[in-house]
């Protein structure tokens, strides 16, 4: 029996089969969950990628900047599953001007977009799913350690710091409904989002040698395993937490 047997999970953020969300959806199904996906923009691509999962999974449209799509999300998900036990937020975006060393010159409009899509949407998505989570459940988001300033990550780093804080406030406000809220802080992975960061190579070059456990830039499974574990019944008293899945880099100085 899998650790998500009988659970119904909404997974956002599948774009390609390199997406962290793709690994989460695949592993969740292998662990017994029924999975519903949301996709943004390139829906036919997402539908094609979804066919590579062990089981067919419906794909619903969700742009987290679109209030109508958020408002109708619960009823649209409800056409496929009677409720939700888990929700995965695997969404991030920042305009090019907000990344790559342009920190001092980025306009507020571009920063606002980064924060809307990458930070505020964690709250929007959780709240949109509440009508389906009457029996409690788990919300998990994907983070990149925001406790320090990194090269090139710039306003995305600020967005992730906000995500870490928003996660704690969500944990505070949703705890009484039996909903746990946690983040997985993954090390760098070669996904579409990562490739769009100018200078991402800097992370790629240093991370594997700095990580006590080593680090495979192409393996999304360790981060996905943590997401699945956090949605299982094996973290019943854990909320507001950040689990680092980075080969151990966060713990090492120098």
Ligand X SMILES: NC(=O)c1ccc[n+]([C@@H]2O[C@H](COP(=O)([O-])OP(=O)(O)OC[C@H]3O[C@@H](n4cnc5c(N)ncnc54)[C@H](O)[C@@H]3O)[C@@H](O)[C@H]2O)c1
What minimum distance in Å lies between the beta carbon of 92 and ligand X?
3
Q: Which of residues 120-179 bind ligand X (CB under 6 A)?
A: 142-144
Containing 223, the helix (H) or strand (E) segment is helix 221-231
Interface positions, 78-117, toward ligand X (CB under 6 A): 90-93, 117
Tokens at 170, concatenated: 């969500």
φ and ψ at 152, to 5 degrees? 60, -15
Tokens 């953020």 correspond to 13
Question: If binding is defined by CB under 6 A, does position 59 make contact with ligand X?
Answer: no
Question: Cα separation of 163 and 238, whole Å?
Answer: 17
Question: Which residue lies nearer to ligand X by CB, 32 or 52?
Answer: 52
Please give the angle made by the CA atoms of 23, 114 and 231, to the nearest 5 degrees. Answer: 30
Place of tokens 């760098």: 188
Rule CB under 6 A: say whether 207 interacts with ligand X: no
| Single residue of 146, 189, 242, 243 touching ligand X by CB under 6 A | 189
Confirm whether 160 is a catalytic residue: yes
Q: Distance between alpha carbon 173 and the CA centroid of its chain, in Å?
A: 20
Considering the complex, state which of residue 41 and residue 254 has its C-beta at the smaller distance from ligand X.
Answer: 41
Q: At what angle do helices 20-30 and 221-231 cross, to 10 degrees?
A: 50
Find the binder of ligand X among 48, 147, 172, 192 (CB under 6 A): 192
- Residue 45 within binding range of ligand X, rule CB under 6 A: no
Residues in contact with ligand X, counted by CB under 6 A, come to a total of: 28
Burial 210-234 (b: 16+ CB within 10 A, else e): bbeeebbbeebebbbbbbbbbbbee
Kindly name the residue from 160, 169, 195, 201 that is annotated as catalytic. Answer: 160
Stretch that binds ligand X, among 70-78, 103-111, 175-183, 192-200 (CB under 6 A): 192-200
Annotated active-site residue 153? The verdict is: yes
Q: Binding ligand X by CB under 6 A: which of 17, 30, 61, 63?
A: 63
The residues that touch ligand X, with contacts defined as CB under 6 A, are: 13-16, 19-21, 40-41, 62-65, 90-93, 117, 142-144, 186, 188-189, 191-194
Which residues belong to the active site?
153, 160
């Amino acid at each position: 029996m899998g650790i998500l047997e009988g659970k119904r999970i909404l997974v956002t953020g599948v774009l390609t089969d390199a997406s962290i969300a793709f690994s989460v959806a695949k592993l969740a199904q292998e662990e017994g969950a029924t999975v519903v996906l949301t996709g943004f923009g390139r829906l036919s691509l997402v539908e094609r990628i979804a066919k590579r999962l062990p089981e067919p999974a419906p794909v619903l449209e969700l742009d987290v900047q679109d209030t109508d799509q958020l408002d109708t999300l619960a009823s649209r998900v409800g056409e496929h599953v009677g409720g939700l036990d888990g929700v995965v937020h695997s969404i991030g975006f920042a305009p090019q001007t907000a990344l790559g060393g342009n920190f001092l010159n980025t306009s507020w409009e571009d920063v606002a977009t980064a924060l809307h899509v990458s930070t505020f949407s964690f709250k929007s998505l959780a709240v949109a799913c509440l009508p389906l989570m009457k029996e409690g459940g788990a919300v998990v988001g994907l983070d990149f350690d925001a406790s320090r300033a990194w090269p090139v990550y710039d306003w995305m780093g600020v967005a992730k710091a906000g995500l870490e804080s928003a996660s704690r406030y969500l944990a505070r406000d949703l705890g009484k409904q039996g909903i746990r809220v946690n983040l997985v802080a993954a090390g760098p992975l070669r996904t579409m989002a990562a490739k769009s960061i100018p200078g991402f190579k800097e992370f790629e070059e240093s991370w594997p040698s700095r990580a006590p456990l080593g680090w495979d830039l192409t393996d999304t499974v360790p981060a996905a395993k943590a997401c699945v574990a956090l949605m299982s019944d094996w973290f019943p008293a854990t909320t507001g937490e950040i689990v680092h899945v980075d080969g151990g880099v966060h713990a090492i100085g120098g």
